A and B are shown apart, each in its own frame.
Chain A
Amino acid sequence: MAAYIVRRLAWVIVLLFVITLITFTIFTVLPAADPAALRAGRQPSPELIESIRQQFGLDDPKPIQFLRYIQDILPFDNDGVNFGFSVQSNTEVLPQILDRLPATIFLTAGAVVLWLCIAIPIGTISAVRTGSLLDRVTMGLALIAISAPVYFLGLVALFLFDEDIGRFPLLPGSGAYQDAQGFFGKAGALIMPWCVLAAAFAAIYARFLRGNLIDTMQEDYIRTARAKGLPERTVILRHGVRAAITPIVTLLGLDIGILLGGAILTETVFNIQGIGRFAYDAIVRFDLPVIQGTVLFGAFFIVMMSLFVDILYAFIDPRVRY
C-alpha cells in the first residue's frame, strides 16, 4: 500500500506539471488577447506596450516565462510559494486563492451532504421498488433536475425565493454569503446555493445508485443471503447497497475535487467569492497568473481526491488490494 501511494504521489507531481504546461500554452501561445494591450489602455503607443511587456516579463522567451512561473509555485526562491502576481491587482495569487478557499469548501461540503442525503435513500428505495409510483415520480424529477442547467436553476431560485427580489422572499440570495457573519449566518446564506448545486448531483447519484443496486440485487450472493433467512433490510443495506455504492465513491471523489477547484456557475450566480468566481474573473480579465493558479489548484484537488478514492477502495471493497 505504501509503495502504491508513493508511486501515485510521484504521478501527481508529473500530472500537475503537465497540466501547468498545458494551461500555460493555452493562455500564452494561443491567446486571443494581448495582456499588455489590455493593460495599456485605449491608445497604446508601441513604447508603452514594450514597457508593459518588460514590466510583466511578457517579452521574455516562453520557456523562460514558464520556468519563472514554475519558480513561483515551488519554494525554491526568496519569495517562497506565491503562484505569481495578479496582473490586475498586483497581489500574490496564492493568498487570494487561500482567502477564497473557505467559501468554496463550505459550498461544496454542504452540497455534498445534501445530495448524498437525498440520493442514497431515493436511489435505494427506487431500486427496491422498481416500477412503483414512487420510483417513477422520483426518477422523473431526477431527469428534470439533470436537464436543468445550474445557471438556469439558480436564477429561477433567486427570482422565486431571494429575500430581496424573490416572489416568495424566504432565503438570503445573491451576494448574501459575503455579508453574512459567523458559521450559522454563512450557512443560512448558502441554503439556496446548496440546494441548486445539489439538485443535479442528487439526481445523477440517485439514478446511478438505482441502476447499480438493481444489478446487484440480481447477484447470486444476494440470493444466498436471502436463502440464509437474513432480514430483507439487512440484505439490501449490508449486501446490496454496500456493493452498489463502490462506483459512487469514485464519482463522489472526483466530483468533490472538481467542485473544490471551483463551482464556477453556482458561485457566479449567487455571487459567492470562492475559487470558481475568482477563476471566472481572471478569465474575464485575462489575468494569466490567476488563471494558472486556479487551474493548478483545481487539478491538485482532483488528483488528490482521485488518490484518496483509490485508497478508500481498499477499505470498502475487500477484493481490492494494492
Chain B
Amino acid sequence: MRRSLHWTLILSVLLALTFGVAACGGDDSESGEQGTNAGTPAEGKKGGKLTALWAGDTDNIDPGITYYQMGTQIIRATQATLYAPKIDDAAVNEPQLAESDPQVAEDGCTVTVKIKEGWKFSPPVDRAVTTKDIKYAIERGFFSSVNNGYAGPYFGGLDGAKVGAKPGTKIPGIETPDDTTIVFNLKPGEGADKCAGGILAQALVMPLSAPVPEEYAKEFDAETSSTYGQNQVATGPYMIENNAQGKAIGYEAGRRIHLIRNPNWDESLDNRPAYVDEIEVQQGNDDATVMARKIIEGQGMITGDQPPPPAILKQALTQQKDQIALVPGGSGRWISLNTTVKPFDDLNVRKAVSAGMDRDALRLTRGGEAIGDIATHYLPPGLAGYEEAGAAEGFGLDFMANPKGDKALMAEYFKKAGFSSGKYEGNEKLLMVGDNEGVGAKTAEVAAEQLRGMGFNIELRQVTHDAMYNKFCNRPPSDTAICPNVGWIKDFSDPQTYLDPTFNGENIIQTNNVNWPELDVPEINKAMNDAKLLTDPAERAKAWAEIDRMVSEQAPTVNWIWDKDTSLQSSNVQGVIDESNGIWDWAHSSLK
C-alpha cells in the first residue's frame, strides 16, 4: 500500500544522487476458517529450527515500544506478559505470568493482580521476577525515552501517570505490597466516581506488562532514546540471542532476528509448549510471490509480515490446503463518509450510499471471498461483543443487508433525503482521497465509479498511503468528503479498542484524527464513556455491542469487509495460529 510513496522517495534519492553526478561533471471469507492449522493446537515434536520469511523489520524490538503484529509475535515467544489471549480463542484472556484473573474493584478504581513465583529473567540478569519489575515495565512506557504508543489510552488513568515523563519517574498509582502482588490505582475521570479499571485489566495482555528489571534497564532507558530493546532480557521460552553483557547479537536491524531457548524458562509455569529449538527471522523478502513459493516448496518455513498474493492464495486453497491458514483478523475496512461535509451530514444520504454500494465488487478488488466476510456491523469476528452484536447476522439493518447493493432501497433513501429521482441530484464536487497504487487504488476506483453511478460528482485524488492519511483523511481541516481506504484493527479483544478511537466524537482531533467520518453524536459519545467504566467483561461486551448498533445505524461509513489473515507454512511445519494476532505463534508451532 505504501509502495508508491517508496518509489517517489526512491526517485527523490536518485535525484539527489543525480545531482551529485551532474555537479561532478559526471488478508478472509465466511466467519468460519478455511485451510487448516487455525484451530486447537495439536501435540508437536520437540526440536528443530523454524524460519520465518519477512519483508521488513518489526516496528520496534523493545517490548515496551512495539505496538504492531510482528512485534507482538516476538513478544509472545520471548516474554511473559501478565495475561495472554487464549491461542485458539482470541476473545478469552488467560493468566500467563499472573496466577489468576485480575481483581477489578466494583468502581474500577483498583485492579489487583497476583503473579506466580518462580519466573526468572534470562541471562545476564538471572534473577527471579517480582511485581516491581512489572511496575517498572509500565512506568517506562511513559518515559520520554520510550514513548509507548498505547500507554496513554489504556494505562493513562493510573494515578500519577503522565505521557512523556522523565526517565526514572515513578507512578504512585502502581503499588507492589509484596513481590507477588501488584495493585493498580486509577483516578476517576473529571466529574465521575468510577475509573477505567476494566480496560486496564484487559490491556494487561499487551507487551507493556512484560517485566523489565529496573537495575539492569535503567541505564539504557536514561538515554535520549532507550536502547533497552537492543539489550533486553527475556522471561518467555525463547530469547533473542545475546552475549555475556546482554547485547542482543541475534537482532540485526533489517536483516535477521535469531531466537534461541531461554535457559531460565521453567516450562512447568507456562502453557506454551515451545517445541522448536530456535527461530530465525529472515528479513528482506519483499517479493510476495517469491516468498510464498519458497515457503510452499521449501522446508521449515512460515510467513510473517506479508500475506501470499491472490494468485498463490488461490492455488494454495485448492492444491496446498494443509499449508494455508485463514483466520479472522479482528479488523475491518471502511469507506468513510465525512458527516460534517454536505451531503453526508444527511443520514438518509449515508444510508442510501451504503444500500446502493456493491460491497462484493469492492471485495473482489482485494481477492474475493477468501479474504474476508462482508460486514453486517462494526465489531468483527474474534472480538468480544461480536456475538452480542448478532454475529454474522448483525442487527438486520436494511441498508447493510445486500452485499451486492440494493438499488431500489438506495432510491428510497435518496427520496427520503429529498432527491425525487432516486439518485443524488446535487452537483458540487466531493473530494475523495484514496491510495494511488496496489489493491487500495483499485478499491478507491471501484468505489468512485459506484458513487458516480449514484449521482455524486466525485473528484478522486489518488495519493500515497501516507499522504492520504497525513494530508487528508487524518486532518479534519482538509474537509475530505470520502476516504475509501480506511479501516481499523483491534489492539486486544476488547470492543472499546475498536469503536472508541474511531467513532467517539470526543476523540476528534485536528491532526492524526482516526474518527474519519467525524461522527459526533452525543448519545453515542455518552454510551461509550459509560461503557468504558464497566468492569465486568461480559457487561462490557454487551454494552459495546449496543454501541455497535447505535454506530451502525448512523451509517458513518460503508462498512464493507471483515478481513481475514492469511498465513502459509512449509509442508513439514505444524503451525499453530495465534488467533488474537492473526499469524503463526512460534511458541506453539513445531516441525513434523
Contacts and interface: CB of A to CB of B under 8 A. Distances in A.
B450 interface: no
A250 interface: yes
B25 A306 contact: yes
Contact of A37 (B2, B21, B470): B470
Looking at chain A, what size class is its interface with the partner chain?
Answer: 35 or more
Contacts of A99: 252
A284 to B, nearest CB: 5
Given A51-B147, A273-B284, A281-B57, A85 B225 contact: yes
A7 interface: no
A271 B10 contact: no
Interface in B38-82: 53, 56-57, 59-61, 67
Interface in A161-219: 162, 164-165, 173-175, 178
B249 to A, nearest CB: 12
A2 to B, nearest CB: 20
Interface in B494-543: 501, 507, 509, 511-512, 514
Nearest to A282: B254
A322 B471 CA distance: 53
Given A47-B163, A299-B20, A90 B227 contact: yes
Interface residues of B, number: 68
Interface string A78-98: 000000011011110000100
B56 A299 contact: no
Given A46-B509, A258-B21, A273-B255, A54 B144 contact: yes
Given A47-B164, A261-B17, A298-B17, A26 B12 contact: yes
A46 B263 CA distance: 42
A38 B53 CA distance: 24
A99 B255 CA distance: 11
Contact of B60 (A34, A42, A88, A295): A88
Nearest to A281: B254
Interface string B394-426: 000000000000000000000000000000000
A174 B56 contact: no
Q: Interface SS of chain A: helix, strand, loop or mixed?
A: helix
Nearest to A47: B163
Nearest to B61: A89
Contact of B21 (A22, A174, A302): A302
B5 interface: yes
A264 B287 CA distance: 14
Nearest to A12: B24
Contacts of B293: 164-165
B149 A41 contact: yes
A56 B2 CA distance: 24
Interface in A60-119: 85-86, 88-91, 96, 99
B226 interface: yes
Interface in A239-288: 250, 253-254, 257-258, 261, 264, 268-269, 271-273, 277-281, 283-286
Contact of B19 (A22, A47, A175): A22
A56 B225 contact: yes
A302 B24 contact: yes
Given A56-B225, A269-B286, 7 more contacts: A23-B16, A33-B466, A37-B511, A52-B147, A54-B164, A91-B253, A174-B285
Q: Give 7 closest A-B pairs by Cβ, nearest first.
A: A41-B149, A51-B164, A89-B253, A33-B466, A306-B24, A271-B284, A32-B467
